[in-house]
Amino acid sequence: MTYVYDDTNIFAMILRGDIPNSTVTETDYSLAFRDINPQSPVHILLIPKGKYVTIDDFAANAGLEEVADFWRTFAAIIDGEGLQQKGFRVISNAGEHGLQEVPHFHLHILGGKALGPILAQ
The residues that are catalytic are: 106
φ/ψ of 47, rounded to 5, equals -130, 150
User: Which residues in 56-75 contact ligand AMP (CB under 6 A)?
Assistant: none
Per CB under 6 A, 90 contacts ligand AMP? no
The only residue of 25, 35, 61, 89 in contact with ligand AMP, by rule CB under 6 A? 35
Q: Considering beta carbons, is residue 68 or 91 the nearer one to ligand AMP?
A: 91
The only residue of 2, 37, 85, 121 in contact with ligand AMP, by rule CB under 6 A? 37
- Distance between CA 115 and CA 95 in Å, rounded? 23
Residues making contact with ligand AMP (CB under 6 A): 10, 19, 21, 33, 35-37, 45, 93, 99-102
